[in-house]
Amino acid sequence: MFLQPWLLHKQVLEENDMRLAKHWFCVVALAAFFVALPRGYAEPRDGWSLQARVPSSSMAMISIEDVAGMTAKFEKTAIAGLFREPEMQAFAKPIGEALQKLLESERGSPFGEATPLVMKLLEQLANLRGQIAVALVDVDMGQEMPRAVVSMDFGPHVGDFATFLDAMRKEIDPESRGIRAFEKDGRMWWQVQDGPPITATTVDTAFVLATDATLLEGVIAGAGESSLAASADFNSVRTRAGGDQLAVLAYANVPAIVQKLAPEMPEEMHRIANALGLDTLRAAAYGMAFSGDGFMDSFILHAPDASHGIVPLLEMPSYEPQALARVPANAFYYEEGAVNFADLLPNIRKLVGQVESNAVEGMDEGIKHLNSMLGVDIERDILGGMAGGAGSYIAMPETGGLFPELVVMLQVKDPSVFEASFERMARGIAGAASEEGDIIASTRTLDYRGQTLHLFEMQEARGDDVVPFTPTWALLDDWLVITLVPHTMKEVVLRGKTPAGGGLAAQEDFQSLRRVVPQGAGELTYIDLQAALNLIYDTAVPVLQTAVKPNVMGREVPFTLDWAQLPAARTVRPYFRSLGIYTTWNKDGFAIQMHGPVPLAGVMMVAAAVAVPFMAMGGRSMPSPGFRAREVRRMPRAPRPVPDAPVPVPGPGKGSPADMRMARIQAEQISSYVRVFLLAKKRMPGSLDDLVKENVAGSLPMDPWGNSFKLVIQDAKARKFVVRSAGPDGSFGTGDDVQSSN
């Protein structure tokens, strides 16, 4: 279904059969990389790895690891368990069966006569075993040409794939005008002769394709001790991204990329890059790995032993929960880490000074003015008074209610000294806010069960409007606690007086996230996806079941979406684990890693699968797969009125807006079948009747006025044509004719 718009689009662009054959060969070869699906097999991996074949100076590499073992790993995840649920299978199974029938039906398939080729390709892709990878070895900046390699490990079935490709080549390019096949060194080679210099062959258990023959010969020989696989930086990143559990890895060799781009960078950019520590960055990477019953997405900047830049300035200790004891069990957001507040401004001064020395003086002048306005020394009294621990959480009240609890917690060194400094700063802020004349701000204290609560109250200066929150803060033991309203602070105080234990720390889903905290991580963020599901799933499903009946989408979607079969929320909820985000700043660099029930890479692939067909189609509507089997006859609907514009009223010899719109849609749909005919038969049909005779279309509709459409060939050599309706008057060549947009 998704390939049809692409095929139509390419047909318009192709100028001759040789180019069409060349592109078919390249697309099918590369499609194996982009559409490969994880499958499980009994035999072990064959061990092919592209990183062992390309030099360590390679600029980038993207790989899918261990295709053969991916299914077994996926079956252990919570999302796989969800799809084994009988309720979910009742919804998904009919969709899968309908798509399978659509794909297998040659005459009814949107692929037309390309269906056998697609089915054979899918059969070959089922034999993928190990790694699928793309490596960008180098770029010719003068010609803007990349030197790249693609490899696909088929294990013992690599010969079957080679045979399939050669048979396909003979079918689409029997005279070898676009693709040359020859034997060399005991193996079959393929070379594209018109267009990009693409060369392909088989190496061990893999099918390998490169942008030039010299590069491919280097891959065959292997890079040995100078390979990317022997690089300490590559291996460090790969281990941090998931190691043996790694499923997807995207790696960038930052020094190689910077060296290539350096001549184009102005001096100022060099200075800024060095100040930020870009020259200490050894690699950047994204990895997706299996972890527990979920997935771990990792974004890594690898800068081992960085001596300057952002990495050493923001280094944080390993995560040790201290504020967690104050977080209630029903918190749907929690974050905690450690921040070196005392060194924050000195580090910023150092960084700013490396970029622009004069800027430090201006920065200090601004801080001095702020200190005078607030009545405290921010660097010494506030930032210097903090101990480093920092946490926050959001929860709904445990006692009921809809106003959320938003709490920020900062650890201090000396509570009594810090309380006085913070109170002076609060009064300074109130005075500065009131000077503008729009808000009247003031501070006051409130005693609650022996605890002093500090309130920061604000009121509109004009009228009686209120500011909808009253920030409240208090020193609880050695923690500065800040809330939006006094009510929340009172709940925090009361919870602190109850016996220790329970809370978020005791929740099983939170404990599962703590068990997979990466080594050295300095900050943990917890997001309760089950709580989000309560809101989204429990609301969206009833709406779908109420408003979108299966028959409504029957024409546009080639299968039935029976929303009534969706599982109950109680069935789905246990499989949606919470999301954990781990942040690391240490001597190895910077990393953000996310552990959740669904991988980010999977979400991006689904989004791409949805977006690509529409992009390839150029914004044009896709023909309905069911169009061939029946005539499209719809009762005309009254046009919707356009604001501030007259509503067209049909008169003698005129069609209603609904009829004219339907005729245009039918003409576009028939045009799409003409393009399929061109692609399959490599010639223009003599008339629209040929579409039915050659089994491209099951039948053709009449236009809304009961007349046949007509094929008008404008330029046979350029394959330009339109499909035309005679319009409501039934006569071609008059002003009310309707035609496709070609």
Convert the pLDDT of each residue in 289-323 to its tens digit.
999 889 999 999 999 878 887 887 788 889 999 99
Position 389, amino acid: G
Domains of the chain with CATH codes:
1-42+70-133+147-224 (no CATH), 320-516 (no CATH), 529-577 (no CATH), 625-739 (3.30.700.10)
Q: What is the pLDDT of residue 8?
A: 36
Which ranges constitute the DSSP H helices of 314-461? 344-355, 357-374, 415-435
Q: What percent of the chain has pLDDT over 70?
A: 81
Average pLDDT, the chain: 80
pLDDT higher than 50, residue 623: no
Greater pLDDT, 87 or 117: 87
Q: At what angle do helices 357-374 and 415-435 cross, to 10 degrees?
A: 90
Whose tokens are 């079941």? That residue is 545
445 touches 453 (CB < 8 A): yes
Residues 684, 690, 695, 701: what is their CA dihedral angle, to the nearest 10 degrees?
110
Whose tokens are 């034997």? That residue is 183
**pLDDT of amino acid 450:** 92
Structural contact between residues 653 and 728, judged by C-beta atoms closer than 8 angstroms: yes
39 has a pLDDT exceeding 60: no
Q: Is the pLDDT of residue 439 over 70?
A: yes
CA dihedral 599→601→606→609, nearest 10 degrees, is -170
pLDDT tier for residue 333 given thresholds of 50, 70 and 90: very high
For residues 173-188, average pLDDT: 83
Mean pLDDT in residue range 369-388: 93
Residue type, 367: I
Q: 378: which DSSP letter?
A: I
Please report where in the chains the tokens 């926050």 appear, as a residue.
392
pLDDT exceeds cutoff 70 at 104: no
The whole-number average pLDDT for the span 151-173 is: 87
User: Does residue 122 carry a pLDDT above 70?
Assistant: yes
Q: Are 383 and 347 in contact (CB under 8 A)?
A: no
Contact, 125 vs 37, CB < 8 A? yes
Q: Which value, in Å, is the radius of gyration of the alpha carbons in the chain?
A: 33
The predicted structure's pLDDT at residue 559: 66
If pLDDT is split at 50, 70 and 90, which confidence band does 282 have?
A: very high
Of residues 727 and 613, more confidence is placed in 727
Contact 378, 404 (CB under 8 A): no
